[in-house]
């Protein structure tokens, strides 16, 4: 069974694509998500920081407050992070 994040099928809106990562709307929750191109749950800190930086640029360009959620839930063996909407009460 293959990894859907490794397959990187383009069926939602894509915002960024380079040799380190890609960013597209998550097909489950419809928010921008950054995916590390390497099938590994633990990127080095500098790689993770760069992916979060680029995800932040995408989220800010959409004009909504966000927070980065990188808790690996349904795909725990491949690093990815979501730019989730910031609740209005924060």
Q: What is the pLDDT of residues 27-58, one digit of tens each?
A: 999 999 999 999 999 999 999 999 999 999 99
Going by pLDDT thresholds of 50, 70 and 90, the confidence category of residue 89 is low
CATH number at residue 29: 3.30.428.10
Domain assignment present for residue 41? The answer is yes
Tokens describing residue 11: 């069926």
Q: Is pLDDT of 90 > 60?
A: no
- Distance (Å, rounded) from C-alpha 38 to C-alpha 34? 12
Dump pLDDT digits (tens) for 18-34. 999 999 999 999 999 99
Other beta carbons less than 10 A from residue 15's beta carbon:
19
Number of domains composing the chain: 1
Domain that holds residue 24: 4-85
What's the rounded Cα separation, in Å, for the pair 42 and 52? 14
Confidence of residue 9 (pLDDT cuts 50, 70, 90): very high
Examine residue 56 and state whether it is found in any structural domain, yes or no: yes
With 0.75 as the threshold, say if the pTM is over it.
yes
Q: Is residue 90 part of a domain?
A: no
């Amino acid at each position: 069974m293959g990894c859907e994040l490794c397959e990187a099928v383009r069926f939602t809106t894509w915002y960024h694509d380079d040799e380190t990562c890609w960013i597209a709307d998550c097909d489950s929750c419809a928010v921008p998500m950054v995916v590390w191109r390497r099938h590994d749950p633990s990127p080095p800190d500098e790689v993770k920081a760069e992916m979060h930086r680029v995800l932040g640029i995408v989220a800010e360009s959409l004009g909504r407050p966000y927070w980065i959620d990188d808790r690996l839930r349904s795909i725990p063996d491949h690093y990815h992070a979501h730019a989730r909407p910031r609740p209005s009460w924060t």
